[in-house]
Chain A
């Protein structure tokens, strides 16, 4: 994070005081309106406004903390905005592995939205959760809220396939069948997958593969929830 954004946010009002939220709310409305601009063009402006009205009401009536829309600074490109709510806990402090990452030729700080996306409705992921990319372990039911391909695409935009192959060959055969988060944790300061002893690595394979049905064709194995 560069100095100027820090300064900007340090002057932000604490979200626990609803009365101070109001000016922010206007901002939010403006922003949402802007995002719904296509509606306006298609002649749905009233519907959009009604939605905003309802939203504002709900947001206002709920106290702070639960409502993102009430956040005056829900600038999704700024991690601190998200972290004001998504603090995680001591075990998952959010600021670990991907917290301070910089990427690209501009050496830009990675924002939450870079990986999680902004969702179709902009910042309002509370209302439309499914828009947000959620990185999840693949369970046996394979009930992924974000499809496998979409999850992994987010990771692959930085982590190149060639690098993954060099890091460990098992990335290759699992690329289409497992989400990255099935094995990796993204926010702790150290990914438990790193620096595993050889025998523990083997155990990872065994633990999963011995639970697969015996006659399963693992090379054609793909999850039902895996394709969008």
Chain B
């Protein structure tokens, strides 16, 4: 299985983490064949308008009632007129070591080695929902029409296939979303990651998520 090498590297990293060298930049150590698409959500620029959500729904024909992408708004911090909000993007993190892929019994959930994108192949899926339960970010849902698990796939079959940026990225009025190849040091996302302090969600679980975030000034993260 092609994932064994990745697993090996991942467990190596986990070992390193476990021995206390927690600050090793995992990001740069994980080079897979070809591109590794990643996304950055700059929470300090996000205004919580949810234009990204609408655009995703429209582009990827996501039915009402479920969503591939949610912007979670924090409780107000402070009193009117000096109150602030934080925004948190909930969507697939395209983990380098994805639990959803690991548990899938039929290999329907897979990580595309060319791009690093995690996607679902409905033709292999049986609908056991193991992946839905296994995703620690809880971003998977059962598509009400297809009856198979669905989630963000970086618009792999829609905008990306047409050579366009993911729908959410181009819809964002404040350029709070940056998409690109994290393996290419010249890409906008690599530049941002290299020069700005970013964080990722639930890193200790060893999933190695590829959704990077720039914390807003309020510094309050939803759990």
Contacts and interface: CB of A to CB of B under 8 A. Distances in A.
A205 B47 contact: yes
A161 B80 contact: yes
A176 interface: yes
Interface stretch (A44-52, A102-110, A163-171): A163-171
Contacts of A209: 47, 49, 173-174
Given A165-B76, A214-B175, A205 B81 contact: no
B81 A161 contact: yes
A222 B148 CA distance: 48
A165 B44 CA distance: 21
Nearest to B75: A169
A210 interface: yes
B73 A202 contact: no
Contacts of B83: 165, 172-173, 175
Contacts of B73: 169
B54 interface: yes
A76 to B, nearest CB: 28
Contact of B173 (A162, A169, A199, A210): A210
Main secondary structure of the interface of A (DSSP, over half): helix
Contact of A176 (B76, B81, B217): B81
- How many B residues are at the interface, by size bracket? 20 to 34
A156 B47 CA distance: 24
B80 A165 contact: yes
Nearest to A177: B81
A172 B47 contact: no
A13 interface: no
B82 interface: yes
B69 to A, nearest CB: 13
Given A169-B85, A206-B173, A219-B217, A175 B51 contact: no
B84 interface: yes
Given A169-B73, A172-B85, A206 B80 contact: no
Contacts of A199: 54
Interface string B72-100: 01001001111111000000000000000
Given A156-B81, A169-B76, A219-B217, 16 more contacts: A161-B81, A162-B80, A165-B83, A169-B48, A172-B76, A172-B81, A172-B85, A175-B80, A175-B83, A199-B54, A205-B47, A206-B49, A206-B51, A210-B174, A214-B175, A219-B84
Closest 7 A/B residue pairs (Cβ) = A161-B80, A175-B81, A205-B49, A210-B173, A172-B83, A209-B173, A206-B173
